[in-house]
A and B are shown apart, each in its own frame.
Chain A
């Protein structure tokens, strides 16, 4: 019974480590829901649940692209600032041309272009990703404030607004978009060659290069996708709040990073899933929503998010060490 094949068979039948980790996270989410239901009368109402789902969708869209970046052992600190610029440009194009389609193309195109620039900085100029995207964050913020000059653009076509505030069969539109991108993201990461190459780069860039993975091109792709997803998220925000100003999305970078890390993606690359990030986004949204319902001042949010990030990385460190 103790022969090697038996062990191999048993480990194949036993739930994989990823599944167990995901279960732990779902239990944490369930406990959080139970606690919030007990603490607040408002939490378990249809309105609030729909609100939580809508917020989760937004955070997930940002965090899903970021997950790919972190899978390669990189980081994208510019997602929040990218949302600001993409939203403002999209709003301005939509206002001047009156065409929602052109506006949406601008938003996603701007996001992707910024991401592409990040990818070039990281690969061609060999700047560490956290420095490159941190510099990009400040530059984008500067450009956005300069462009907007304190103005607000508001009032978009009702058709476009459906994207953020519409419902289909009683479920908010962003939730459908989230499910679509959860499927696309999970399929891309797990079932395509490019997706597997991204894991390989994160696990061991040298080995990936030696086995013929075009590391630079995949890295540029990953940053461009992260940027494009930020562009998409910016459209959802625009459609939801019906106005754009320079500081839009600024406070979303930390929660997005936290969602990826809480979702079980390792900062050191090579392990994690897009589905895990959705659980992470749900967790973060519940925490922030719960703080709102319990009337905890919004100043606590960066503090709590910072602590969650540190705890998530610490737990990841410990599980990795016990695996080794």
Chain B
């Protein structure tokens, strides 16, 4: 085991309580308050609904590890979903639609990466700008209306099961496995850790910092394209406001999961638990009939608590 693995392992152990306690407390609270919460059907429901968020939170973890941020990922998800729906409705071909969604994600990821790495524009302002662009394009293409007429073959992606497991959960597990492999078992992953912790070392080693940063944002865009497939299948339509604010849930999940905004420390498994915590919170508040506007306030409060704990840890 290398020194890096050792140190991340010990960090992981130090962080397990935080997000696990949040998750446990949420489950216990909702289990007591709402009888429908701790049923197998509802738990499967939570996991299925969390997959779209997981697909966004995984690359967001890597992006935040490079001391970056992607505020545009929700708007890119929306635009990709619209591209998918429009293409499928026009051509009748599901693979072409999926390709259109991936292309939108790739282009925005590449654009974000180039603006950040080559033009030196800070990530939060770059992605705020591209958020405006993606949102504007979504409204323009659809004229504010839903795109309907999605064929059954796409809808099935969300509702079918494989060996009793919902397809979205399978896709989520695959995405997690791929990201885990990328981050912990490839050179790319090592570079991602270095991008946040020690950029100088990368430069000295002759690695292109720009190239690596661009790859991280392209990964984010592509994952938003995959998520667009699931979202379109789930809603059975595409709507210009469907994914707005999803970036906030994704950032919340990463923050609750213990990835630091300042020191380049990331923990992918923490993000997974964070995604489930956000999913549990949304689901539990839904069961208690709390309006979605108030749910956002609850998620915001949890993020602030998580970041506060993160800040306290940094002082030690």
Interface residues of A (CB under 8 A from B): 75, 77, 121, 125-128, 130-132, 134-136, 138-139, 141-146, 254, 257, 267, 297, 299-307, 309-310, 313-314, 317
**Could you jot down 5 A-B contacts, CB within 8 Å?**
A139-B296, A303-B137, A307-B133, A309-B125, A313-B125
B307 pairs with A127, CB closer than 8 A: yes
Top 3 A-B pairs ranked by shortest CB distance?
A303-B136, A306-B132, A299-B139
State in angstroms the CA–CA spacing of A76 and B294 once bound together. 22
Segment with Cβ contacts to A, from B35-43, B52-60, B210-218, B298-306:
B298-306
CB distance from B230 to the nearest CB of A (A): 23
What is the total of A-B residue contacts with beta carbons within 8 Å? 118
State in angstroms the CA–CA spacing of A175 and B83 once bound together. 44
B128 pairs with A306, CB closer than 8 A: yes
Within 8 A of A (CB), among B55-102: 69, 71
Known contacts A131-B261, A257-B128; A304/B120 CB under 8 A: no
Besides the contacts A299-B140, A302-B136, A313-B122, what 8 more A-B pairs have beta carbons closer than 8 Å? A77-B128, A125-B304, A134-B71, A135-B303, A145-B291, A299-B144, A309-B125, A309-B128
State in angstroms the CA–CA spacing of A309 and B132 once bound together. 10
CB distance from A287 to the nearest CB of B (A): 13
Option from B122, B131, B245, B311 in Cβ contact (under 8 Å) with A306: B131
B126 pairs with A302, CB closer than 8 A: no
CB distance from A164 to the nearest CB of B (A): 26
Known contacts A135-B248, A302-B132; A314/B121 CB under 8 A: yes
State in angstroms the CA–CA spacing of A145 and B307 once bound together. 25
State in angstroms the CA–CA spacing of A144 and B143 once bound together. 27
State in angstroms the CA–CA spacing of A303 and B293 once bound together. 26
Option from A121, A128, A257, A302 in Cβ contact (under 8 Å) with B304: A121
B125 pairs with A146, CB closer than 8 A: no
A141 pairs with B296, CB closer than 8 A: yes
State in angstroms the CA–CA spacing of A253 and B142 once bound together. 23
List of A residues within 8 angstroms of B132 by Cβ: 254, 302-303, 305-307, 309
State in angstroms the CA–CA spacing of A303 and B255 once bound together. 29
Known contacts A304-B136, A317-B121; A143/B297 CB under 8 A: yes
User: Is B155's beta carbon under 8 Å from chain A?
Assistant: no
Known contacts A130-B69, A139-B300, A142-B296; A125/B136 CB under 8 A: no
List of B residues within 8 angstroms of A138 by Cβ: 245, 248, 296-297, 299-300
A136 pairs with B307, CB closer than 8 A: no
Within 8 A of A (CB), among B136-185: 136-137, 139-140, 143-144
B128 pairs with A142, CB closer than 8 A: no
State in angstroms the CA–CA spacing of A277 and B141 once bound together. 33
Known contacts A125-B307, A305-B132, A317-B119; A142/B295 CB under 8 A: yes
List of A residues within 8 angstroms of B124 by Cβ: 75, 130
Option from A142, A306, A309 in Cβ contact (under 8 Å) with B294: A142
Residue of A nearest to B302 (CB): A135
Option from B135, B139, B291 in Cβ contact (under 8 Å) with A146: B291
List of A residues within 8 angstroms of B125 by Cβ: 75, 257, 267, 309-310, 313
User: Is B115's beta carbon under 8 Å from chain A?
Assistant: yes
User: Is B265's beta carbon under 8 Å from chain A?
Assistant: no
User: Is B17's beta carbon under 8 Å from chain A?
Assistant: no
